[in-house]
Amino acid sequence: MKKNMDITVLFLFYVGVGDYNRAVHVWIFAESTQELLLQLRSVSNSKESWPGLWNISTASQIAAGDSSLVTARRKLQKELGVILPKDAFEMIFDFLPETVRITNGDKFKTDVYLVTTLDPIPLEAFTLQESEVSAVKYIHYLKYKSLLGSQNSEYVPYDVDGQYGQLFDILTQRYALRSIC
């Protein structure tokens, strides 16, 4: 199997040992409050990884034949009931995790998208897919970074000093810092 990550492979779910699946992460960021939207992963039996923990606005494996943008839009609509145009999604970076974090041992090359809104989308505007998402909340991005850095057990762990720290670097570079209350 070829390991070229720049193309969508039609046999995505038939990967050999040491090969990478593709995935997307989508972050919703409210510019006026400098908050990221997090989802609380469902504790239902359908969630293999990180049940009951706060995580990315939405994330998914990319299905065979789909682009990461198609998957990002579909997953946001499916899990949170939000329909956004293609131009609302900005791919800000991709990464290969330093460690395998998924319980079944899969490895992913992940495209990370940022959806920026002026104000927070009201929480009551979300229609949650209960088998996937139990709740949503906003959190200031620096507070979230701090919680991840302290390895708070209520949050899916991401290495903010590693590749995933790019998210926080990009937000810091783009937006004026406000003090956290």
- The full set of domains in the chain, from first to last, is 21-163 (3.90.79.10)
Beta strands in the chain (DSSP E): 21-30, 35-41, 54-55, 58-61, 90-95, 108-117, 133-140
| Cβ-contact 80, 127 below 8 angstroms | yes
Sign of the dihedral through C-alpha 7, 60, 150, 35: positive
CA angle 26-42-160, nearest 5°?
45
What is the structure's pLDDT at 20?
A: 74
First to last CA, the chain: 51
Per-residue pLDDT of the chain (181 residues; tens, 9 = 90+): 334 444 333 333 444 455 678 899 999 999 999 999 999 999 885 657 789 999 999 998 888 889 999 999 999 999 999 999 999 999 999 988 655 444 455 677 899 999 999 999 999 999 999 989 999 999 999 999 999 999 999 999 998 998 889 999 999 999 865 544 4
